[in-house]
Amino acid sequence: MNEAGSQDECDVFLVHSNYSDDIRKAEYIYTILERNNLSCVPSAIGQIGKPLLEGTVYMIEHSVKTLVLVTLESFKIPWLKLDLILALENAVHSRKACVRLLVEGDQREEFKELGLLGSVPYLSVDFNRSDWEEKLLEEVQKDPEIMDNPLPAGNLALGQVYSVVVGYYGTVLPCLSKILTENQTVKQNLSTTSTRFFILIPSDCKILNPLTQCRDSRIERVDVRLCVKTEDYCGKERTYFVTLYKITDGSTVYYFVGEIPYVLNTISMLHAKGSIVEVDRSYEVNRFLWTLESVLTHRKHDDCKDTFHVIKFEPQLLVDTILTQIKKDVTPGLNAKCVMTPQAKLDNSVKGQSYEFDAAIVYDDEVSTDQMIAQNISDALCKNNFTFSFEEPGKPKLEFLDKARWKIIILSKESRLRPICCFALASSINNDKDKDENKDKEESTNKVKAKVRVIPVLNGIMVKEIPQFMYWMSCIYTNENYIDSLLNIMTGQELELDHCLPRGNVYTGLVWGYILNYLPIPLIGKALGSDIQPVGADLTNRIKMTLRDKSITCGCMRKLYLCIPKSCEDRKLDDADGIAKIGELEAVKVAERVYRLAMYMMTSPDLPDGQVCFLAEQPAPTKHLFDISKRYRNVGISEIDLHSQAEEFCKSCTANVRSETFIRDVGDLNSLCQFLFYDAVVRNVLCQTLYYNCVKHLRCAPTE
């Protein structure tokens, strides 16, 4: 089937699980394809000498089509989605992502559990029917269709994390200690106050703002809002607040500050309104959690160290979960589970690296056999003069792992099934990056060399039962002489990883957050997913009120122009010739959150009345993109990527707001807003763009 000159490609790359039944079915498919002169490579082979995940990405890129065999057994494996989605995210950038799911039988209901993969084209095959071979060959021999967007919501979690870190936590956390120590309530109750910010992640993604909406009488607000900082951000005043709460436990009252990140509402709403786009809530929540920890514990955020907790909780256990952590924070010695050998800090010989200890031991303390193995390993490390530490309760998992040269992770049948486990492991691999001495060269090419130091210790399970992206590592079985094997690995060299685990695009998550969490509130007075609806939200009244207060008679268009500079830098709109900022409309309030729109006046002799007012702003997510590209090189946003993601942000917002499902499930914003993409390098292009669109609008609609 391949044409001459494409010898490096095969016709079909067949992905399947390592269950015996699936292997048997895959071998049968392989035989059928080969019999019909179609070259096929099963996932068990991949690219020789490469890690399995890396091999999967390589083979997707070097195959005409990729078939993924999905059986009743395989798609219930917690790792399937992570493996395939990571591979798809990486492959889509090369424009070589022609992927089809080969689903056994009629599993339409069960198939929905695949969530994010629900939009990937698939073929139902019944191996008991005589026509399945014919259907398979027909599918394979079709002209390949490259998938522009294999994951319809993109990487929601990534965009949401960087949005909230750049837009809120990066500002609030470094100032938190000072704000709390200046508060009178905290001063009087220091012994029962946690000085950490509680970032609370609900498993069902439901937002409680304030936390007292949980309707548990033990929790109350003390000071509704403590002001941290006020600044100008994208032409509007932005004030950062935190809320102080108290929890009564018997005769003792405990205090803390915290919130459920409002950006999670995006995931919640897309999950609830499946007609807009398919979202796997469980996957995105877990990925949000480990990505958030990974970013906040990054060395670029040393000023955030020891200032927060990221805690996932079950909705009915919110107060109990918070209470347990506060008691650990305020009780000396309660976090003493961390064990270190009484030796000097490790004099590490790895070039350019320093670690606090040789090994971090991670295990599930609810599994007795895992606990016993952890103790055996710690005894052996101590005996052989290795420094080590156990996982520290109450500490972010990724911060703890980042301190160690080697990560020893004990996996059993029980612990491997925890959904968050795969993300903790994936982040451990992703964070193990060593940059070369020539940093400028690396940053310019956005290449980061990685070395992996994860050692899985398998307790009663086989390799096929752990994440596929770890198959290539040095796995140790506890039924062998695992202590000697472990010591041999730790005295050797780290394994090099050519490709870092893909991060995905940032703009996709920013798009959905902006058009779901923000735009509907100031424009149509609709707060999605909230029990509390906006106050003072009528747009026409707010415009008329501002015109009256400012004694302006030229009128104002009932339309918000969302101006997106190609560079994503913070651009003041009134820097443009002929444009002046009038002020801000009365704020719209939803619970403790405030939303403002800015009014501008354009002056030009070519306008009907010489002047006209309009609403405009630079979307905050575009400034987030700029900050991410400059502060977080590991995300891999080059200047070219920044420009393209800014343009894609504009196109995606426009397309989604115009879609029939968005209009039906959210509201019609089309007459109220317009996204404008411009290149600020061209002199006065913003003024010209706004002028053109204002004149065009005035021909169709009157001003207020």
CATH number at residue 554: 3.40.50.12100
Q: What is the pLDDT of residue 252?
A: 93
Quick: pLDDT tens for 661-692: 888 888 899 889 999 998 877 667 777 778 77
Place of tokens 């002799």: 605
Q: How far apart are CA 624 and CA 70, in angstroms?
A: 38
Judgement on whether residues 98 and 162 belong to the same structural domain of the protein? no
Q: How far apart are CA 32 and CA 40, in angstroms?
A: 10
Average pLDDT over residues 537-557: 87
The answer to which of 112-116, 198-202, 370-374, 698-702 has the lowest mean pLDDT is: 112-116
Beta carbons of 557 and 612 less than 8 angstroms apart = yes
* 85 three-state secondary structure: helix
Quick: pLDDT tens for 407-448: 888 888 777 666 555 665 665 665 554 333 334 444 444 434
Q: How far apart are CA 389 and CA 53, in angstroms?
A: 29
Determine, yes or no, domain membership for 448. Answer: yes
Q: What is the percent of the chain where pLDDT is above 90?
A: 8
Judgement on whether residues 527 and 668 belong to the same structural domain of the protein? yes
Judgement on whether residues 569 and 612 belong to the same structural domain of the protein? yes
Res. 241 pLDDT band, cuts 50 70 90: confident
The pTM of the full predicted model, rounded to 2 decimals, is 0.64
Judgement on whether residues 689 and 561 belong to the same structural domain of the protein? yes
Quick: pLDDT tens for 269-315: 877 766 566 677 777 787 788 778 777 776 566 778 788 888 888 88
Please, where are the H alpha helices in 72-204? 78-92, 108-111, 132-141, 156-164, 170-181, 184-188
Cβ atoms within 10 Å of 145's Cβ, excluding its own: 10
Determine, yes or no, domain membership for 579. Answer: yes
Nearest by Cα to 522 from 536, 508, 505: 536
Average pLDDT over residues 173-180: 88
Judgement on whether residues 28 and 122 belong to the same structural domain of the protein? yes
Q: What is the pLDDT of residue 224?
A: 66
Place of tokens 């060395």: 299
The answer to whether residue 347 scores a pLDDT higher than 50 is no
Largest CA distance in the chain: 87
Determine phi and psi for 129, rounding to 5 degrees.
Answer: -95, 150
Nearest by Cα to 623 from 575, 572, 574, 570: 570
Determine phi and psi for 90, rounding to 5 degrees.
Answer: -70, -45
Res. 50 pLDDT band, cuts 50 70 90: very low
Beta carbons of 603 and 588 less than 8 angstroms apart = no
Judgement on whether residues 251 and 161 belong to the same structural domain of the protein? yes
Determine, yes or no, domain membership for 335. Answer: no
Strand partners, 454: 407
Res. 319 pLDDT band, cuts 50 70 90: very high
Q: How far is CA 403 from CA 65, 277, 396, 397, 454, in A?
A: 42, 39, 12, 11, 13
Please, where are the H alpha helices in 446-590? 482-490, 507-512, 520-524, 539-549
Tokens of 475: 């796995």
The answer to whether residue 256 scores a pLDDT higher than 90 is yes
Judgement on whether residues 488 and 544 belong to the same structural domain of the protein? no
Judgement on whether residues 382 and 463 belong to the same structural domain of the protein? yes
Determine, yes or no, domain membership for 5. Answer: no
Place of tokens 């990883």: 497
* 168 three-state secondary structure: helix
- Alpha-carbon torsion angle 291, 297, 302, 308, nearest 10: 100
Determine, yes or no, domain membership for 186. Answer: yes
Cβ atoms within 10 Å of 492's Cβ, excluding its own: 9
Res. 254 pLDDT band, cuts 50 70 90: very high
Q: What is the pLDDT of residue 33?
A: 86
Determine phi and psi for 345, rounding to 5 degrees.
Answer: -60, 140
The answer to whether residue 329 scores a pLDDT higher than 80 is yes
Judgement on whether residues 475 and 559 belong to the same structural domain of the protein? no
Beta carbons of 279 and 153 less than 8 angstroms apart = yes
Q: In what order do the strands lie in the sheet with 388-390?
A: 388-390, 357-362, 404-412, 454-459, 476-477
Q: What is the pLDDT of residue 349?
A: 36
Cβ atoms within 10 Å of 337's Cβ, excluding its own: 13
Nearest by Cα to 259 from 318, 197, 301: 197
Q: How far apart are CA 666 and CA 307, in angstroms?
A: 37
The answer to whether residue 344 scores a pLDDT higher than 70 is no
Q: How many domains does the chain have?
A: 4
Q: What is the pLDDT of residue 448?
A: 40
Determine, yes or no, domain membership for 242. Answer: yes
Judgement on whether residues 523 and 602 belong to the same structural domain of the protein? yes
Class of residue 459 by CB neighbours under 10 A (exposed 0-12, middle 13-18, buried 19+): buried
Average pLDDT across the chain, whole number: 75
Q: How far apart are CA 228 and CA 557, in angstroms?
A: 35
Q: What is the pLDDT of residue 348?
A: 37
560 vs 274, more confident: 560
For residue 396, give the DSSP letter.
-
Beta carbons of 690 and 563 less than 8 angstroms apart = yes
Domain end, chosen from 457, 474, 497, is at: 497
Q: How far apart are CA 439 and CA 336, in angstroms?
A: 39
Indicate the residue type of 329.
Answer: D
Nearest by Cα to 452 from 382, 404, 524, 505: 404
Nearest by Cα to 521 from 696, 325, 417, 669: 669
Quick: pLDDT tens for 571-611: 777 766 778 888 889 888 877 778 889 999 888 887 777 88
Q: How far apart are CA 247 and CA 221, in angstroms?
A: 9
The answer to which of 154-158, 240-244, 381-385 has the lowest mean pLDDT is: 154-158
Tokens of 115: 């969530």
Q: Give the rounded distance of the alpha carbon of 331 from its chain centre.
A: 33
Nearest by Cα to 528 from 662, 399, 407: 662
Q: How far apart are CA 208 and CA 458, in angstroms?
A: 39
Q: What is the pLDDT of residue 69?
A: 78
Judgement on whether residues 634 and 572 belong to the same structural domain of the protein? yes
The answer to whether residue 636 scores a pLDDT higher than 70 is no
Indicate the residue type of 424.
Answer: A
CATH number at residue 64: 3.40.50.10140
Determine, yes or no, domain membership for 337. Answer: no
Residue 299, CA atoms < 13 Å, CB-side half-sphere: 11
Pairing mode, strands 226-233 and 556-565:
unpaired
Class of residue 172 by CB neighbours under 10 A (exposed 0-12, middle 13-18, buried 19+): buried
Q: What is the pLDDT of residue 118?
A: 60
Q: What is the three-state SS of 440-456?
A: HHHHHHCCCCEEECEEE
Domain end, chosen from 473, 497, 521, is at: 497
Tokens of 260: 């459920």
Determine, yes or no, domain membership for 151. Answer: no
Judgement on whether residues 186 and 323 belong to the same structural domain of the protein? yes
Q: How far apart are CA 56 and CA 474, in angstroms?
A: 19
Domain end, chosen from 110, 141, 172, is at: 141
CA-based Rg of the chain, rounded to a whole angstrom?
28
Quick: pLDDT tens for 464-508: 566 655 554 556 778 667 787 787 677 754 444 443 444 456 787
The answer to whether residue 26 scores a pLDDT higher than 50 is yes
Q: What is the pLDDT of residue 43?
A: 59
The answer to whether residue 334 scores a pLDDT higher than 80 is no
Res. 91 pLDDT band, cuts 50 70 90: low
Strand partners, 564: 677
Q: 444-455: b or e for each residue (b if 16 or more CB lie within 10 Å)?
A: eeeebebbbbbb
Q: How far apart are CA 360 and CA 518, in angstroms?
A: 42
Q: What is the pLDDT of residue 198?
A: 95
Q: How far is CA 429 from CA 210, 214, 234, 445, in A?
A: 36, 37, 36, 21
Res. 149 pLDDT band, cuts 50 70 90: low
Nearest by Cα to 90 from 636, 472, 470: 636
Tokens of 656: 């989604």
Q: Residue 94's domain spans which residues?
A: 10-141
Average pLDDT over residues 331-344: 40
